[in-house]
Amino acid sequence: MAERRFEIGRIPGFATVAVATFVMLYLPIATLVAFSFNEGNSIAVWEGLSLHWYREAWDNQAVKDATARSLIIAVCAAVISTTVATMAALGTTRRAKFRGETFIYVAINQPLMVPEIVTAVALMIFFGMIKVATGYQGLGYLILAHSAFCIPFAYLPIRARLEGMDLSLEAAASDLYATPWKTFRHVTLPLLGPGILAGAMLAFVISLDDVIITEFVKSGGQDTLPTYMLGQLRRTMTPEVNAISTALLALTVMLLTAFFLLTRKRD
Amino acid sequence: MTEAVTIEARNAVKAFGQGDHVVRALDDVSIQIRKGEFFTLLGPSGCGKTTLLRLIAGFEMPTSGTILLDGADITELPPNKRPVNTVFQSYALFPHLTVAENVGFGLTMQGRPRAEVTARVAEMLALVKLEAMAGRKVSQLSGGQQQRVALARALAPQPKVLLLDEPLSALDLKLRKEMQVELKRLQTETGITFIFVTHDQEEALTMSDRIGVMSAGKLQQVGSPKDIYTRPVNRFVASFIGETNFLPATVVPGGVRLATGDVVEVAAQARGDVTLTVRPEQVRIVGAGEAGAIAATVKFLVYFGTDTHCHLALADGTEVVARVQSPASGEAGIEAGSAVGLRFASGAAQVLED
């Protein structure tokens, strides 16, 4: 008789662990979403269905300002980090292997390795010195900080896409009378497009979600949506926080769905 | 055919690596390729044939030496400034473009008017019999169809030279045979100089006007398929192209003496110890003891259908293979273990110095 293959699904208790895992992952979020529609003031006692807190959040000037700030920072950070990441990915893949390649790779991905709190404190001190020297207090610091830590998230999908691309495609383009710029414009860039979009969306989502670095770098009155919500902890929590979280969740899910649709293999 | 030279390499050297690890992929190669000919660079993998092709295309710069096109030095020109197009081993078709857009790519990049591009693309697709596929994405095509698109794309800008880097290696045997005929037809119809790289000696013999045999970064011999096959200049060429016998021999007046003492009449410029080479189909089996024949014993027979390979041993143990026509059914053939005599067809045996 043939030996039975190892199947993890046959281990006793597998189903229990699986169900428990999914409950842990999704029940809290489901609760959060449910209570965003609560009529009353409590985030734990159900008092009936309503869109009250969505209206409340929508009318709250502080929420509006924080949302605008979050979106400005996330869009800028996504554009800047994706541009830099695209150049980095081209520089590290479309050429022969070189000495120190691994080092460059690690250096580009620094934000994935260094604990975020360390970067946050370092940026606070560093930007503090610049603030004193220049007097500039604007959103630039946050945009710069977000752009930097978003780079690896934009870099990785772009690099993955490039590594799957035959180098002879660019050779073929140049062989067919395309100048280096036209080769980039007509061959490399269109083929890289889905990777760049995926990278930009990941960077956008990561920036939108950031608390630690933002909390340390921001000046007074520069709350983003996540730091605004963090601030709410110091007062009584109302389902307004649930409503904002649910809106953020919806945005993120939409972007990640688009990301999935764009990056999956066609046909 | 004119004798005008289209592509010429002068003392081309391409070295890779640094310090103690320098590898000369191309070691002082000089070659002239004539206008309108089907020229094949033949050799085992790593012999430098693809490197030479890449130097002609402009993907690599030679370490030293010159590449000329119609007498003009193009060594320093980038690929996009050379009227030379390539069919890549991987085809390298642009996956984001349609078949028609792929074929028109070179013309579009040259800035030709749209009407001209459209007309030329239609003409090219007709040439490779893919008119119906113009609007398809290349990923929807079979391997053989992709191969045709790659050919049409490279031919569309009417290059002076078409370079083909083992373009048939990814196809199955039947398709490969079809494409060999197709390539020969395209070359005749367009009159463009083809430089074809392959490691397949049969492909080289059937398709080429001339063949350049390469090994270890050096050009071993250049000549017509018949020259290369019947008059190989050294042991490498003799053994790489077709099957052959090698017999140790010593030069004597009027010919060479084999280790068995038999003397074979052959022209020999060399002196001393040499190698005698003779193709299996040029070895005749005659009756044992016939005057002037070399005594041999049949060891075993390998049946190939129309032909049978007789593996024989001479008196000193040297092995010789003779290819003979298989006997018809009922007819008595040669049997293993029997004593026979060998003759070499006149002018077929050749002396190699190596």
- Asked whether residue B299 falls in the same domain as residue B317, the answer is yes
Chain A touched by B246 (CB under 8 Å): no
- Asked whether residue B214 falls in the same domain as residue B293, the answer is no
Comparing A114-118, A131-135, B17-21, B102-106, which segment has the lowest mean pLDDT? B17-21
Q: Model's pTM, two decimal places?
A: 0.80
What does the block give as tokens for B15? 């070295």
Q: Does the pLDDT at position B209 exceed 60?
A: yes
| DSSP for residue A264 | S
Strand B210-215 relative to strand B218-223, pairing: antiparallel
Pairwise CB contact (< 8 Å): A169 & B94 = yes
Task: Tell me which residue in A166, A168, A176 faces B105 most closely, judged by beta carbons.
Answer: A176
Q: Per residue, what are the HEC states of A87-107?
A: HHHHHHHCCCCCCCHHHHHHH
Q: Does the pLDDT at position A196 exceed 80?
A: yes
Report d(CA A175, CA B190) in Å as an integer.
19
Asked if B159 and B187 count as a contact pair (C-beta separation under 8 A), the reply is no
Report d(CA A212, CA A226) in Å as an integer.
10
Range of the domain at B258: 243-352
Looking at residue A267, what is its pLDDT?
A: 38
Task: Tell me which residue in B59, B84, B105 faces A171 most closely, judged by beta carbons.
Answer: B59
Map out the domains of chain A as residue ranges.
9-50, 60-263
A12 vs A70 pLDDT, higher one: A70
Domain count, chain B: 2
- Asked whether residue B176 falls in the same domain as residue B295, the answer is no
- Asked whether residue B315 falls in the same domain as residue B232, the answer is no
Looking at residue B331, what is its pLDDT?
A: 67
- Asked whether residue B175 falls in the same domain as residue B145, the answer is yes
- Asked whether residue B129 falls in the same domain as residue B175, the answer is yes
Single-letter code of the amino acid located at B73: D
CATH number belonging to domain A60-263: 1.10.3720.10
Reference B337, options B288, B295, B298, B293; nearest CA is B298
Looking at residue B338, what is its pLDDT?
A: 86
Within B92-234, strands assigned E span 161-165, 193-198, 210-215, 218-223
3-state SS assignment for residue B73: strand
Looking at residue B332, what is its pLDDT?
A: 66
**Confidence bin at B129 (pLDDT 50/70/90):** confident
Q: Does the pLDDT at position B244 exceed 80?
A: yes
Q: What would the pLDDT profile of B61-120 be if each residue is shown by its tens digit?
A: 999 999 999 999 999 999 999 999 999 998 999 999 999 999 999 999 999 999 999 999
The pLDDT mean for chain A works out to: 88
Share of chain A above pLDDT 70, in %: 96
Q: Give the distance, in angstroms, between the CA of residue B344 and the centroid of all CA atoms in the same chain.
A: 26
- Taking contacts as CB-CB distances below 8 angstroms, the residues of chain A near B139 are 267
- Asked whether residue B212 falls in the same domain as residue B348, the answer is no
**Confidence bin at B23 (pLDDT 50/70/90):** confident
Q: Is the dihedral of CA B219, B225, B227, B230 positive or negative?
A: positive
Pairwise CB contact (< 8 Å): A172 & B139 = no
Report d(CA A186, CA B286) in Å as an integer.
69
Question: Which of A94, A162, A175 has the highest number of chain B CBs within 10 A, making it the mutation to test binding with B?
Answer: A175
Looking at residue A263, what is its pLDDT?
A: 67
Strand B255-258 relative to strand B319-325, pairing: unpaired
Phi, psi of A173 (to 5 degrees): -65, -45
Asked if B86 and A175 count as a contact pair (C-beta separation under 8 A), the reply is yes
**Confidence bin at A2 (pLDDT 50/70/90):** low
Distances (CA, A) of A136 to A50, A65, A131, A215: 44, 20, 6, 18
Q: Does the pLDDT at position B189 exceed 90?
A: no
Write down which residue in B236, B263, B283 finishes a domain. Answer: B236
Residue indicated by tokens 């041999």: B296
Q: ipTM more than 0.95?
A: no
Asked if B161 and B69 count as a contact pair (C-beta separation under 8 A), the reply is yes
Pairwise CB contact (< 8 Å): B57 & A176 = no
Q: What is the CATH number of the domain that holds B120?
A: 3.40.50.300
Looking at residue B262, what is its pLDDT?
A: 87
Q: Does the pLDDT at position A218 exceed 60?
A: yes
Q: How many CA atoms lie within 13 A of B28 on its CB side?
A: 0
- Asked whether residue B221 falls in the same domain as residue B247, the answer is no
Looking at residue B59, what is its pLDDT?
A: 93
Looking at residue B10, what is its pLDDT?
A: 93
Strand B339-344 relative to strand B283-286, pairing: antiparallel
What does the block give as tokens for A21? 């895992």
Q: What would the pLDDT profile of A138-179 be if each residue is shown by its tens digit?
A: 899 999 999 999 999 999 999 998 988 888 999 999 999 999
- Asked whether residue B292 falls in the same domain as residue B172, the answer is no
- Taking contacts as CB-CB distances below 8 angstroms, the residues of chain A near B152 are none
Q: Does the pLDDT at position B247 exceed 70?
A: yes
Q: What is the CATH number of the domain that holds B253?
A: 2.40.50.140
Looking at residue B1, what is its pLDDT?
A: 45
Write down which residue in B173, B201, B236 finishes a domain. Answer: B236
Asked if B86 and B95 count as a contact pair (C-beta separation under 8 A), the reply is no
Q: Which of A36-45, A103-112, B60-69 has the highest mean pLDDT?
A: B60-69
Looking at residue A255, what is its pLDDT?
A: 83
The pLDDT mean for chain B works out to: 89
- Which residue of chain A has the CA closest to B79? A175
B238 vs B347 pLDDT, higher one: B238
